[in-house]
Amino acid sequence: MIYKGSSGYVASKELIEAVNVAITLQKPLIIKGEPGTGKTMLAQSIAESLKMKLIVWNIKSTTKAKDGLYFYDTVQRLNDARFHDRDISDIKQYIKLGKLAEAFISEDRAVLLIDEIDKADIEFPNDLLNELDEMSFYIPETKETIVAKQRPVVIITSNSEKDLPDPFLRRCVFHYIEFPDYELMKEIVRVHFPDIHRELLEKALKIFYDIRKIGELRKKPSTSELIDWIRVLMASAVDIENISVKNIPFIGTLIKKEQDLEYLQRAYLR
Amino acid sequence: MSLLTFFYLLRAEGIKITFKEWKDLYNLMKSGYIKNISDLYFYGRYVLVKTEKLYDAYDRAYIKFVNEGGDIKERIEELLKFLDEEFDKRVHRDFEEISLDEILKRFNERLKNQKEKHSGGGKHIGQKGYSPFGSYGTARDGIRVGGEGVNNRAFFVASERHFKNLREDVMLDTRNITIALKKLRSFKEDGLEEDVDIDETIDKTAKNFGDIDIAFKKERRNNIKLLLLIDNGGSMEPYRDKVEKLFSSAKNLRYFKDFRYYYFHNCIYDFIYEDIENWKKFPTAKLIREFNPSGRLY
């Protein structure tokens, strides 16, 4: 089973290699990099090209490691006990499996994306150590052990907001995606807009990279913003000649923070 | 040069490689992923380096390793053979328990013996064999090392060293300090009410004549963003090191939701400093913009 990239996704040689290493060693792959470097899309591309099911576990600041395993709905059971709605002796019906468990019990090998792991509490990755190592876990309530039928391909993304704990990292393969350079970005844009006018592409990219160079911005525009911006530019048929750093049409698609917009207006757009 | 030189060079650059990770590299070699010195660079990086902050250290170790020269292919085969024997010998014992140092020692001994038997000068390859400036791939006496042009890819990337800015030298201090720091954490009950408050539930249920009445409470969360500005230079110089150590261990343990530190001199002017070794400037205005009222300043 070798991943070779897929048609709708531009992956560097290194990224493809890292994916294959993770598949061979059967270890989770941690993908780090700036927002907009296509970290989340990678899992989709792997699932697509290897014809596997994709299971996405989106991590939020409130997500606990246990959420990925199972959830025992005690409140529902209590409620049922009170109103005698259902037979409450069967605990199984109150156990709801999480995303990790879903990937484990899948008959065919699945791709599990643990998206933005750094959003969760600092203890989160450590709480998953055993489960990812053994690819199994135990549910004490039903005395059941859930074992992975096929070890899923685990892709973990992180925005480098927080460093991940060492014991966790030791068990993973790691790759840092650099922000695409001018040439690679051209290729990426062309995947989205195959018939884009060459002049528009170059002008848009130049302005995009100029804005990214401004160190004072709170949120630099990333690939997805660039794609959105180009989409509007193409749909609105703006005169290419008139676009410059001083005159950026639809700047709201590129710059999302009010403070940044104010800053740009003060510094450049006057 | 043996592959173990690479291991030591990496350790010397501060990349703490465990046996488990070195074994991953070994597994990749066995599966045929690493065929030449260029593959070694990339595949080594995937399994040995776990943060982009150490990419630069890795690059430097790699450059040193390559500059030492030697027939890598032969060395890799040698290491594989040795490890195979070692694994066979210890197949019934717990693999993790063998001390790495012991293996390294024994391997080095073997290497020494090998060298005595084989050294005819034919193995050594001029540095130019790896130089990015051409004539790569061919050794002085005509031995080809690894793939041809591919060799250049890794060395080129490594010599660019463009991960330099991602470096972060973390000073780890005594455990005592870090444990003490844990006390600085303060959890706040925040967000949605989603935890069942057992005491309150029992209380309310009792008052409700045994009819169950469930109470919820907010969950405890660690929400402190810490900003540390260190007065640097002059009279504060003797204390700087200690304070730095204290807080770098805090960062390492990730006790806080966010933690950053900067330096200033005399007074906070337009610029503060990210790094005092080379006085890297950081605009104060940006700092003020980035930190909202949820942050704390010390």
Rounded to an integer, the average pLDDT of B163-172 is 47
The answer to whether residues B56 and B32 belong to one domain is yes
Note down the domain range covering B67.
Answer: 3-166
- Contact partners, residue A265, CB within 8 Å, separation at least 6: none
Q: To the nearest whole angstrom, how far is the Cα of B16 from the nearest Cα of chain A?
A: 10
Residue B180 lies in a domain: no
Residue A158 lies in a domain: yes
Note down the domain range covering A203.
Answer: 182-267
Q: Does A258 touch chain B (CB under 8 A)?
A: no
Longest dimension (CA), chain A: 73
Q: To the nearest whole angstrom, how far is the Cα of A174 from the nearest Cα of chain B?
A: 5
Residue B151 structure tokens:
């060799």
Q: What is the pLDDT of residue B67?
A: 78
Tell me if A37 sits within 8 A of A222, measured CB to CB.
yes
Q: Is the pLDDT of residue B267 over 70?
A: yes
The domain boundary, picked from A159, A177, A195, lies at: A177
The answer to whether residues B105 and B54 belong to one domain is yes
Which residues in chain B have Cβ-Cβ distances shorter than 8 Å to A30? 50
Residue B102 lies in a domain: yes
- For chain A, report the end-to-end CA distance as a whole number of angstroms: 56
How far apart CA B79 and CA B26 sit, in angstroms, is: 9
Residue A6 lies in a domain: no
Task: Please indicate whether, in this complex, the C-beta atoms of B46 and A17 are within 8 angstroms of each other.
Answer: yes
Residue B178 lies in a domain: no
Which residues in chain B have Cβ-Cβ distances shorter than 8 Å to A172? 50
Task: Please indicate whether, in this complex, the C-beta atoms of A170 and B31 are within 8 angstroms of each other.
Answer: no
Comparing A135-144, A179-188, B102-111, B130-139, which segment has the lowest mean pLDDT?
A: B130-139
How far apart CA B289 and CA A17 sit, in angstroms, is: 40
Question: pLDDT digits over B197-254, tens only?
Answer: 788 888 888 888 777 777 777 666 666 666 777 676 666 666 666 666 666 655 555 5
Mean pLDDT, 10 residues at a time, over chain A (270 residues)?
Answer: 82 90 93 83 92 93 88 85 80 90 92 90 84 89 89 89 82 90 87 87 89 80 88 83 79 84 74
| E strands in chain A | 29-33, 53-58, 70-72, 95-97, 110-115, 136-139, 144-147, 153-158, 173-177
Q: What is the pLDDT of residue B93?
A: 45
Q: Does A132 touch chain B (CB under 8 A)?
A: no
The domain boundary, picked from A177, A194, A229, lies at: A177
C-alpha separations of A38 from A33, A34, A84, B31 in Å: 9, 9, 50, 28
Residue A138 lies in a domain: yes
Residue B81 lies in a domain: yes
Task: Please indicate whether, in this complex, the C-beta atoms of A78 and B51 are within 8 angstroms of each other.
Answer: no
Residue A7 lies in a domain: no
Q: Does A61 touch chain B (CB under 8 A)?
A: yes
The answer to whether residues A163 and A238 belong to one domain is no
Q: What is the pLDDT of residue A181?
A: 85
Which residues in chain B have Cβ-Cβ distances shorter than 8 Å to A173? 24, 46-47
* Interface size, chain A vs chain B, as Cβ–Cβ contacts under 8 Å: 84
- The whole-model pTM stands at 0.64
The answer to whether residues B95 and B155 belong to one domain is yes
Domain count, chain A: 2
Longest dimension (CA), chain B: 95
The answer to whether residues A187 and A167 belong to one domain is no
ipTM here? 0.79
Task: Please indicate whether, in this complex, the C-beta atoms of B28 and A75 are within 8 angstroms of each other.
Answer: no
What CATH number should be reported for the domain holding residue A173? 3.40.50.300
Q: Is A257 helix (H, G, I), strand (E, B) or coil?
A: coil
Question: pLDDT digits over A25-57, tens only?
Answer: 999 999 998 877 888 889 999 999 999 999 999
Q: What is the pLDDT of residue A20?
A: 93
Residue B161 has phi, psi (to 5 degrees) of 50, 50
Residue B90 lies in a domain: yes
Query: Which of A74, A175, A259 is facing B46, going by the closest CB pair?
Result: A175
Residue B181 lies in a domain: no
Task: Please indicate whether, in this complex, the C-beta atoms of B49 and A174 are within 8 angstroms of each other.
Answer: yes
